[in-house]
Amino acid sequence: MQFKFAHNNFNVLDLDKSLKFYEEALGLKEKRRKEAADGSFILVYLGDGQTSHLLELTWLRDRTEPYNLGENEFHLAFEVDDYEAAHAKHAKMGCICYENPAMGIYFITDPDNYWLEIVPAKK
């Protein structure tokens, strides 16, 4: 028996705002979506166009309050080929929430305050 990663899920309050953020900040594009017949939820799967891993954004119609992310000790990591350009872009967007220059990484937050780690490509 073998397992492989399929996707990660983040629940979001404003689907359109989140879709715009993920495309602008990370270049993720919608690969597919599922909408409940009664309109109670929408699932949107985003991909990077390079790997098979997907990020599932779940929007729930009846959810109005922000999600409790606890101490937010979980995150997704993204490797980028031009670290300096990515950092400049994210700084301009105002979404950098934490930097660790000694490790050569930084984190950005999405509209729902999920943390996303940005790491330079290994050379």
Q: Give the catalytic positions in this structure.
A: 117
Cα atoms in the Cβ-side hemisphere of radius 13 Å centred on 35: 5
* Ramachandran assignment for 108, one of left (phi > 0), alpha (psi -120 to 50 degrees), beta (any other): beta
DSSP collapsed to 3 states, 81-102: CCHHHHHHHHHHHCCEEEEECC
What are φ and ψ of residue 93, in 5° steps? -70, -20
Nearest to 113 by CA among 77, 71, 82, 80: 71
